[in-house]
Chain A
Amino acid sequence: MTDQPLSNSPAEELAKVTKEIYERNVELAISNRTLSLLRKMYEIMSSSLNTSETSQRLADAIVKDLNFQKGMISLVDKSGDNLETIAVSPQEPRDSQLEKLLGKPFKQFSVSLKELENFCVKAFTEKKTRLTNNLYDVFIGAVDEKISLKIQEILHIQTTIIYPITFGKETLGVLSLGIDKHIGSLSRAELESMHELVEVVGIALERVRIYNDLQVANEKLKELDRQKDEFLSVAAHELRAPMTAIKGYLSMVVEGDGGSLTPQTKDFIGETITANERLIRLVNNLLNISRIEKGRLVYRMGDINLSQVAKTVSNEFQVIAQEKKLLLNLVVSDNIKDLVYVDQDRIHEVVANLISNAIKYTDIGKITIHLSNPDEHHIKLEVIDSGHGISPEEQEKLFQKFYRTGSSIGKAMGTGLGLYISKLLVEKFGGKIGFSSEVGKGSNFYFELQLK
C-alpha cells in the first residue's frame, strides 16, 4: 500500500486554483471575443442585402477577429448541383502569389455536389462539421492535388474546418476556415463559439436569400402589370376601328344617307347607336385608365356650369330610369353658384358614372341628383338612391380598380372601372369624391369641386 496524501500542499492548491482562474479567464476572453464578433455580424446582417457582399463581410470579420488564415463561404448555386465560392477573406501578399499560381483570382471555385470525396460536399450533404489536415480534401474536383498542396503551403494552413451553413432544415452552403495550427490547440470554448457564429452566418444568408427571392417575385409582378397595361391598350385600340365603323355607318343610315327609313327602323337604329355608344365608353375607359394613371391623358379644361352638365346627363338617363320604373329627379338649390374649372367631357363622364351606378343598383324607388353649395367656395353634386345600399366590407373596396359590387351574387356589370376612374378624375380637378351608404336604405354618392 502506498501513501495517499489526504490533501494537496498549500502550494499545490494555489497552483491548481491559479491554473483554473487562468483557464476561466481564457474562456471569458473567448466569450467576450465571440460576443463582440457576434455583434459585428449582426451589424453586417442588418446593413446589407446582397449575398456576395454579406458573405464577404462575414468571412472577413470571422477570419480577422479569430486570427484564422483564410475563410471561404461557398453556397449551393441556383441549379442546386454545385457549391459555388461566394467569398474568400483577403490576405495580401499571399493572394497575389495564389493568383499567379492559379492563373485566376483565388476565389472562383465551383465544385459539383457529385464530388462525394470533397469535404465541402461531405459537410454540406451530411450537415456535419468536417476537419482535415490536407487542403486537397477541400478542393477535390476543383483544383488538382499538387496545386492544393502549394496553396496550403503559401497560406500556412495546417488545419481546415468545414462547417455546414444551415437554416432550419435547409443547408445553404459551407464555411471553410483555414488555421495555422493543429486542431488540438483550439480550446473547447473556441470550437463551441464557432458553432454559434456559423449559425448566425446561416441566418444572415437566409435573410438575404429571402429578400432576393422577394425582389425577383416583385420584378415579375411589375412585368406582369406592365404586360396587362399593354394588352389593355392594344386590345382597346384594336376595338376602336370596328366600333368607329359601326358608329359611322349607323349615323349615315339614320341621317338618311342610304335612303329614307320608317319611324320604327329609325327607333331601332337609335337603340343600336345608344348601345354602341356605351360600348365605346367602356372601351375608352379601358384605354383611359392606364393613361390617367400615368398622367398622360389630355384634359380640355374650361369654365363649366355644373348644373348644366347635371341636367344633360340626367336627361340622357331618363329613358333607362323609366324602363326600370325609377324616378330620376334633378334638384338644384336656389341661387346656386356652379361655375367650375374642369374638362367638360370628363366631368360628364363622372356624373354619368354615378347616375348609371345608382340606376344599376336600385330596383325600386327613386334617384335624386342634388346640387348645392356646402359653402361659398364649393359645389357639391350628390346622387342619392333608394337602392340596396353597400355593406361595410364592400365599402372598403369600392374605389378599387376592377372592383364590382355584388359580383358574388352575379349582379355585376361593367368593367369595374367606373368609380376608380371617377375618383382619379375628380381628384385631378382638385375635388373630392365620397359616399355614405347603409344596407337596405340606399346610398349617397357625391363629389365636391371648388368654385371658379
Chain B
Amino acid sequence: MDDIIPNQVSQKAVILIVEDDTLLIKMYKTKFELDGFTVITAQDGESGLKIASEKTVDFIILDVMLPKISGLDLLEKLRQIPGKENVKVIILSNLNNPADAQKAFNLGAKEYLLKSNLTPSEIVKKIHQYLNV
C-alpha cells in the first residue's frame, strides 16, 4: 500500500492527510514532518476512511473532492464509528462552497479552509492551536 507511509517515531502527534494531489501531499507531509509531526497519507476517500477508523490519528487534514468517496462522506461515516466522534479535522478544500462548509461544521470540523489561501506553516499553526485546546 503505497499511500500509507507511517513515520517511525511514535511519540509525536499523528496527522492524516487525505488529499489526491500528489505534489500537495508531498509538500504538506514534508512541512508537517519538519515541524515534528508523524504523517500518514491517503490519496482517496476510501483508504482515508480505512486509515482513520483503524489507526490512532490525532488530526485529519481533509480535502473535499476526492476519488471514490468525498471528504465530507468520509467525515460523516467516520463520526459514526465509536471513539472517532471527536477526532480533530480541518477541511482543506479547493472550492469555497457554503453548503459544504456548513455540512463540515455540522460534522464537527474545526475549520473549512481554502488551500490556496494558506501556506503550510499557517496550517501547522492551526494544527498546534487545536491540538493544544
Partner-B contacts on A (CB < 8 A): 237, 240-245, 247-249, 251-252, 255, 257, 280, 283-284, 287-288, 291, 296-298
| Chain A residues closer than 8 Å to B115, beta-carbon distance | 240-241, 244
B101 adjacent to chain A (CB < 8 Å): yes
| Chain A residues closer than 8 Å to B34, beta-carbon distance | 257
> What 7 A-B pairs come out closest when comparing CB atoms?
A251-B119, A298-B98, A244-B115, A241-B21, A245-B23, A244-B116, A240-B94
Assuming the A-B contacts A240-B115, A247-B119, A251-B120, are A298 and B24 also in contact, with contact meaning beta carbons closer than 8 angstroms in the complex? no
Contact B95 A245 (CB under 8 A): no
The distance in angstroms between the C-alpha atoms of A296 and B96, with both chains bound, is 9
Question: In the complex, which of the residues B31, B96, B98, B101 contacts A248, with contact meaning CB atoms closer than 8 Å?
Answer: B31
A–B pairs, 23, beta carbons within 8 Å: A237-B94, A237-B95, A240-B116, A241-B21, A241-B94, A241-B115, A243-B116, A244-B94, A245-B21, A245-B24, A245-B27, A247-B119, A249-B27, A251-B119, A251-B120, A252-B27, A252-B30, A255-B119, A280-B116, A283-B116, A288-B96, A297-B98, A298-B98
The distance in angstroms between the C-alpha atoms of A297 and B24, with both chains bound, is 25
The distance in angstroms between the C-alpha atoms of A249 and B23, with both chains bound, is 10
| Chain A residues closer than 8 Å to B101, beta-carbon distance | 298
The distance in angstroms between the C-alpha atoms of A102 and B98, with both chains bound, is 61
Closest CB in chain A relative to B64 CB, distance in Å: 11
Within 8 A of A (CB), among B1-55: 21, 23-24, 27-28, 30-31, 34
Report whether over half of chain B's contact residues are helix, strand or loop; otherwise say mixed: helix
The distance in angstroms between the C-alpha atoms of A249 and B116, with both chains bound, is 12
The distance in angstroms between the C-alpha atoms of A255 and B34, with both chains bound, is 12
Interface string of B115-129 (1 = CB under 8 A from A): 110011100000000
Contact B120 A248 (CB under 8 A): yes
Question: In the complex, which of the residues A241, A252, A297 contacts B23, with contact meaning CB atoms closer than 8 Å?
Answer: A241
| Chain A residues closer than 8 Å to B116, beta-carbon distance | 240, 243-244, 247, 280, 283-284
Q: Output the nearest chain B residue to A254 by Cβ-Cβ distance.
A: B119
Contact B27 A296 (CB under 8 A): no
B132 adjacent to chain A (CB < 8 Å): no
B106 adjacent to chain A (CB < 8 Å): no
Q: Output the nearest chain B residue to A242 by Cβ-Cβ distance.
A: B23
The distance in angstroms between the C-alpha atoms of A100 and B21, with both chains bound, is 69
Q: Output the nearest chain B residue to A298 by Cβ-Cβ distance.
A: B98
B80 adjacent to chain A (CB < 8 Å): no
Contact B96 A291 (CB under 8 A): yes
Beyond A248-B119, A257-B31, 14 additional contacts (C-beta under 8 Å) are: A241-B23, A241-B115, A242-B23, A243-B116, A244-B116, A248-B31, A251-B121, A252-B31, A252-B119, A255-B119, A284-B116, A287-B95, A297-B98, A298-B101
